Amino acid sequence: MKKWLIVTALLQGTFLIACKNNGKEKAQKRRPDSVVMVNTDTMIEATDTNIVAVQSASWAAFEAFDGKYGHDLGLFGQEPLKDRFKALLGENTKAFLERHKVTPPIQVENFLLFSEGCRPHDCTVEESALVIDMKKDIIYAGLAVNKQVKLFSERGDTAYPDRLRKWKTKFAE
């Protein structure tokens, strides 16, 4: 019987101490987090962990250009390339097109369109290159005048595609 009284007393004491601590915790004020919550309609759902760039519908026709010649397609006259290309190169547009007269077929691989060319009788010295990243929706261009290369990109993107950087190395002699 003494054992039961001791056990009961211990349990009641433990219960009273536990109840008193809970009351103290509730009385404490919680400090708010320092994170500012953004309106949920601008956030990606928590279940969506894969972010995939969506290809612009306007580049879809350019995927079919693989293996074809730019001059046969009127490449630089097709939208959305036409206006954006002129805006990108500005006063260098004429020089680029003069160096894009002799061309191999266009290459399209992994949503990257690549077209290079040269001025007749001046290949390896006077050349140009065009890369369209159809996933990122960015146009890149390279212009070699007397083996001096100048690169151009929309949105100031300096992460040039490997294909354009490889083209540029031809002139690093």
For the entire predicted model, the pTM comes to 0.67
d(CA 153, CA 89): 9
Has residue 11 been placed in a domain? Answer: no
SS3 143: strand
Has residue 135 been placed in a domain? Answer: yes
CB of 93 closer than 8 Å to CB of 86: yes
Domain around 86: 57-169
The pLDDT of residue 109 is 95
Mean pLDDT of 5-17: 59
Has residue 15 been placed in a domain? Answer: no
Mean pLDDT of 60-72: 94
CB of 127 closer than 8 Å to CB of 116: yes
Neighbours of 42 (CB within 10 A): 6
The total domain count for the chain is 1
Neighbours of 129 (CB within 10 A): 25
Has residue 19 been placed in a domain? Answer: no
The pLDDT of residue 94 is 97
Has residue 164 been placed in a domain? Answer: yes
The pLDDT of residue 172 is 85
Which tens digits make up the pLDDT trace of 85-133?
999 999 999 999 999 999 999 999 999 999 999 999 999 999 999 999 9
Domain CATH for 90: 3.40.1420
DSSP per position, 44-110:
PPTT-----PPPPGGGGGGGGGTTS-HHHHTGGGSTTHHHHHHHHHGGGHHHHHHT-SB----EEET
